[in-house]
């Protein structure tokens, strides 16, 4: 049997295969009004297509725990009950296709209040529904970006509570996995890295202090998330800042062991995003070695992501024990039925909706 199409059990949850969809923002929610941050027909069609295509687990895009935690005004959120109701239609359909509905909980930190990528992605102000970003330190992401407001310890405690509240709403919305977003230079990742965290209090300086906020968020989420359901954490394995202060692969391995002790069940291993204009050696599977190292050195289950496009490539990653699952991003945008096609190539079995049985 194909390793890629074997089920994977985490806690009490069995995920039908190892082809998972990476979280990718759609920037398609309403920016204002009563439906701000709520899922709409675009989100339903987008995720439903990948579930019908056999994807074993779908991680919904970065979903903000508060209005100021959005990357853009058009992001999904989970800070009110209207948003919960809008997501139930999606989770119900995903479950009906045998897909595990999952959601990434996020706070954008200093990279918040940005325009849609296809409109340039630049920081925006109040005239375009923008707001003042928050961060561990008053250090802008890049030239031309606003200086963020440095969070107080009270602010940090409030945001920790917002993650927990969003996790409760995620459960009410029908999700079976939550992922804490600690990657790509958003708020939690900003705390982790000395590149963006210049604090001198209990949340800055040493490794223990810089990881404190992330672990407090994990603890708060794990406390409200059911014991029988898994919790994921997404990490940027490195800032790619060779020779300069930043988060490193060694830090990731050390931190993964801590996350496991705090109840995280799987590490979703990406990289970069915390510093502009860095040299990243992009190529097929370029981030897989980071995931493989975490798995080998800590025993933590991992998912690998990054230019995984071919069925045989994905099969090798899982079969060789480099990762427990692969997360496909752009490839699933191009081909919603990637999992079904890969199963035919590899001799695996995957769910096919009854109306599609004629294609098998």
Domain extent listing, the chain? 3-359
Is 186 noted as a catalytic residue in this protein?
A: yes
pTM: 0.97
Digit-coded pLDDT (tens) for 281-323:
999 999 999 999 999 999 999 999 999 999 999 999 999 999 9
SS3 letters across 187-224: HHHHHHCCCCCCCCCCCCCCHHHHCHHHHHHHHHHHHH
CATH says 3-359 is which class? alpha beta
Digit-coded pLDDT (tens) for 133-145:
999 999 999 999 9
Cβ neighbours of 193 (radius 10 Å): 22
Mean pLDDT of 220-238: 98
Catalytic residue among 186, 203, 286, 356: 186
Digit-coded pLDDT (tens) for 234-263:
999 999 998 899 999 999 999 999 999 999
Angle, helix 81-96 to helix 153-172, in steps of 10 degrees:
50
Distance CA 90, CA 102 (A): 11
């Amino acid at each position: 049997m194909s390793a890629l199409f074997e089920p994977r059990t985490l806690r009490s949850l069995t995920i039908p295969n190892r082809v998972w969809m990476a979280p990718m923002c759609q920037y398609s929610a309403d920016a204002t009004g009563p439906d701000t941050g709520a899922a709409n027909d675009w989100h339903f069609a987008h995720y439903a297509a990948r579930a019908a295509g056999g994807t074993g687990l779908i991680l919904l895009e970065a979903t903000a725990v508060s209005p100021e935690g959005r990357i853009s005004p058009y992001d999904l959120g989970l800070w009110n009950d209207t948003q919960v109701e809008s997501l139930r239609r999606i989770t119900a359909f995903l479950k009906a296709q045998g897909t595990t509905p999952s959601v990434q909980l996020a706070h954008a930190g200093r990279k918040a209040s940005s325009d849609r990528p296809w409109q340039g992605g630049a920081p925006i102000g109040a005239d375009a529904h923008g707001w003042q970003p928050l961060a561990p330190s008053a250090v802008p992401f890049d030239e031309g970006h606003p200086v963020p407001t440095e969070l107080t310890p009270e602010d940090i405690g409030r945001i920790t509570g917002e993650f927990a509240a969003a996790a409760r709403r995620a459960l009410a919305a029908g999700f079976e996995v939550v992922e804490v977003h600690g990657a790509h230079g958003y708020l939690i990742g900003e705390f982790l890295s000395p590149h963006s965290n210049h604090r001198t209090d209990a949340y800055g300086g040493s490794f223990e202090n810089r990881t404190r906020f992330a672990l407090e968020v994990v603890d708060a989420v794990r406390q409200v998330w059911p014991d029988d359901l898994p919790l994921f954490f997404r990490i940027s394995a490195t800032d790619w800042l060779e020779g300069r202060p930043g988060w490193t692969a060694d830090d990731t391995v050390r931190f993964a062991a801590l996350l496991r002790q705090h109840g995280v069940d799987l590490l979703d291993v990406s990289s970069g995003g915390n510093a502009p204009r860095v040299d990243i050696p992009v190529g097929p599977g370029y981030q897989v070695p980071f995931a493989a190292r975490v798995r080998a050195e800590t025993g933590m289950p991992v998912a690998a992501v990054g230019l995984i496009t071919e069925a045989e490539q994905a099969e090798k990653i899982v079969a060789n024990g480099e990762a427990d699952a692969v997360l496909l991003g752009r490839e699933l945008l191009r081909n919603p039925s990637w999992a079904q096609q890969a199963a035919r190539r590899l001799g695996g079995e995957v769910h096919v909706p009854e109306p599609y049985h004629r294609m098998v």
